[in-house]
Amino acid sequence: MTDAWLLTVLSPMARAAFYLLAAVTLAGALGVTLTRNLFHSALWLAVTLLGVAGLYLYLGAEFLAVVQVLIYVGAILVLLLFGVMLTARIADPAVPALNRHALLAALVALCTGWALRLAVRQAAALPAGPVAPVPLETLGRGLVTTYVLPFEVLSLILIGALVGAVVIARPERRS
């Protein structure tokens, strides 16, 4: 099983698939930031999220890929689309999509990316190759043993966010 997985990863076809996935992911991200129409932006975000899910699959994290599709594409993206459609003047081409600091923002992003790339290149010892994928059982067991406290805190955060969102978004009572 493990050997078969390693063989799949090592084969040139999987290699080509990886670079294709990476290109799709980055192109989608560019679409998210540069598209004028916010609705199209959200659709490009779906492309990026699915690309990242594919990368998770490539890395042997099948469960995370499924979670990514279910939670991100299924829930968060639909929520964002609702937000897009609830607010008017989205698709108006006369409204500029970027603010007047766009050039400065591009400079900051480029410098940050360059610095991070430099850090990766100068890292002392990156591991040479992938190891056998983590079985799902290890992930699940960790969630209810070692990481049970962060897990519970996360559920509290979600409850707090839900209640807070309802309170914030509720129309005000006229008194």
Partner 1 sequence: MIPLSHLLTVSIGLFAIGLFGALSRRNAIGILMAIELILNAAALAFVAFNAYGIPAADRDAALGQTAALFIIGIAAAGAIVGLALVLAVYRHQRTIFADDMHLLKG
**Binders of partner 1 among 118-137, rule CB under 8 A?**
120-121, 126-131, 133-134
Smallest separation, CB 174 to partner 1 (Å): 13
Nearest approach, Cβ of residue 21 and partner 1 (Å): 9
The C-alpha atoms of residue 75 and residue 73 are separated, in whole angstroms, by: 6
Residue 86 within binding range of partner 1, rule CB under 8 A: yes
Residue 50 binds partner 1 (CB under 8 A): no
Over its C-alpha atoms, the chain yields an Rg (Å, rounded) of 21
- Closer residue to partner 1 (CB): 4 or 131: 131
Applying the rule CB under 8 A, the residues between 135 and 164 that interact with partner 1 are 138-139, 142-143, 146-147, 150-151, 154, 157-158, 160-162, 164
33 near partner 1, judged by CB under 8 A: yes
Backbone angles phi, psi at 133, to 5 degrees: -65, 150
* Distance between CA atoms of residues 41 and 24, nearest Å: 15
State whether residue 10 is helix, strand or coil: helix
Among 1, 4, 93, 99, binds partner 1 (CB under 8 A): 99
Q: Residue 98 interacts with partner 1 (CB under 8 A)? A: yes
SS (H, E, C) 125-159: CCCCCCCCCCCHHHHHHHHHCCCHHHHHHHHHHHH
